[in-house]
Amino acid sequence: MMTAPLKNSGPTTVEVALGDRAYDIVIGRDQLGSLGSRIAALRPGARTAIVTDRTVAKHWLAQIEASLAQAGIAHSHIAVDEGEGSKSYAGFAQVCEALIAAKVERNDLVIALGGGVVGDLAGFAAAAVRRGVDFVQVPTSLLAQVDSSVGGKTGINSPQGKNLVGAFHQPVLVIADTAVLDTLSPRQFRAGYAEVAKYGVLGDAAFFAWLEANHAEIFSGGAAREHAIATSCRAKAAIVARDERENGERALLNLGHTFGHALEAATGFSDRLFHGEGVSVGMVLAAQLSAQLGMIADDDATRVQRHLADVGLPTRLQDIAGFAQEGLADADALMALMAQDKKVKRGKLTFILLRAIGQAVISSDVDPATVRDFLARKLAQ
């Protein structure tokens, strides 16, 4: 049962229960300053290497370095270019070489300070350098705080598709400082909100209804924002604890992603379509396909679309900048991109579909011809 959030002064801690690899997600305003003391308690004597991007570094690097210095923790840093382009083989090589040059040893710590791109890239480099160095996630975007920083998925993009090269490598700590979200652009915040809404759509109908009623306060800040982040993290932590390596239930977290990743690839992993925007369009398509297959009522699919549109997210293929003009409005091309999705098994596409708002299911028997015709119709609208 969802209740209205209470204002509290201290941070909220959510545990990701993975036995001897369990870790805490610390959620609250003004938590960056606690990083040094938390690392000193967690890993006495460890040195740290911070991986960040140039934009995040301008805002938060000095505060992070001051916190580490105050705790007597040696640190170095590397800044990569902002954006999905850094999640590449070249970006991976750059970060690995910098970590090796900084003499990061196996008992040291990598700190990922940034959004999902930095978290995925730094986490993958930490998984690979010296065959594995522990790392700490300090997510600075809403999307990273509620989704990509939790659960240990790390990786880079291949020119052939999103996140196709990577490793499972769990962090040892996540610090989600909600104050840093105040510096996000409205578009970046909206993109992250798509992943918040996803948790309601896939597994918590009451949370989705609460989001419909309270989204304005989440965007303006305050207690509703922290409540939404903590609820999202709890939902993800519970699923990850039950299915760490996505052998079953964890695939539900990919609601909207089979379509969304294809759209990201079609737009060249560029600023024309942020990840959360692709997930938003993908979630609506998944709901509409579910309705077409008779799994949910048309009204439910409309409700998902209406809520995402209400907060300003794209919900139609035609909402994507330059989509038709670049010849991407092609159902066969999108089907070819979806065939590279990591959830493909023996050539069969797996979709996350809905039996109701709040009840997603894994469906591996959807006829590709049905999906192709569905996309063709959506592209023609």
> Which member of 7, 131, 345, 346 is catalytic?
131
Active site includes 153? yes
- At the fourth CATH level, the homologous superfamily of domain 186-380 is Dehydroquinate synthase-like - alpha domain (1.20.1090.10)
Average pLDDT over residues 356-361: 98
Rounded Cα distance, 362 and 354, in Å: 9
CA–CA distance, 105 with 154 (Å, rounded to integer) = 20
Residue 236 catalytic? yes
Residue 105 annotated among the catalytic residues of the structure: no
Residue 8 — pLDDT band, cuts 50, 70, 90? low
**Catalytic one among 195, 244, 264, 277?**
195
Tokens linked to 337: 């991109």
**Beta partners for 24?**
15
Whether 246 is a known active-site residue: answer: yes
Among residues 254, 307, 342, 378, the one annotated as catalytic is 254
Quote the percentage of the chain above a pLDDT of 90. 83
pLDDT higher than 50, residue 177: yes
Express each pLDDT in 55-94 by its tens digit.
Answer: 999 999 999 999 999 999 999 999 999 999 999 999 999 9
The active-site residue out of 190, 225, 250, 343 is 250
Q: What is residue 371's three-state secondary structure?
A: helix
Q: From the centroid of its chain, how far is CA 14?
A: 17
CATH 3.40.50.1970: does it fit domain 12-183?
yes
Between the ranges 49-63, 216-230, 313-327, 367-381, where is the mean pLDDT highest?
Answer: 49-63
pLDDT digits (tens, 9 = 90+) for 118-148: 999 999 999 999 999 999 999 999 999 999 9
In this prediction, residue 345 carries a pLDDT of: 75
Q: How much is the average pLDDT of 309-330?
A: 82
pLDDT at position 9 is 65
The reported pTM is 0.92
**How far is the C-alpha of 362 from the C-alpha of 141, rounded, in Å?**
28
Collapsing DSSP to helix, strand or coil, 191 comes out as helix
pLDDT more than 70, % of the chain: 95
From CA 128, how far away is CA 133, in angstroms rounded?
8
Element (H, E) at 155: strand 153-158
8-state DSSP, 145: I
d(CA 21, CA 187): 35
Catalytic hit among 43, 198, 225, 257? 257
**Which one from 43, 75, 87, 153 is the annotated catalytic residue?**
153
pLDDT in tens, 192-243: 999 999 999 999 999 999 999 999 999 998 889 999 999 999 999 999 999 9
Averaged pLDDT score across all residues of the chain? 93
Through-space distance between the first and last CA atoms of the chain, rounded to whole angstroms = 38
What value does the mean pLDDT take over residues 110-117? 97
| Residue 1 in this model has a pLDDT that exceeds 70 | no
Candidate list 162, 198, 227, 236, residue with the active-site label: 236
Q: Which residue has the tokens 């990922």?
A: 112
Catalytic site includes residue 250:
yes
Catalytic-labelled residue, pool 82, 84, 244, 246: 246
Is 226 among the catalytic positions? no
User: Could you say which of 275, 303, 307, 378 is catalytic?
Assistant: 275
- Where in the chain are all domains bearing CATH 1.20.1090.10? 186-380
Residue pLDDT, tens place only, 57-67:
999 999 999 99
Burial of 219: CB neighbours in 10 Å, binned 0-12, 13-18, 19+: middle
List every span in the chain annotated with CATH 3.40.50.1970: 12-183
82 among known catalytic residues: no
- Cα–Cα dist 122/363, whole Å: 32
- Does 289 have pLDDT greater than 70? yes
pLDDT confidence of 349, banded at 50, 70, 90? confident
Give the list of residues 6+ apart from residue 144 with CB closer than 8 angstroms, or none: 114, 115, 116, 119, 137, 192
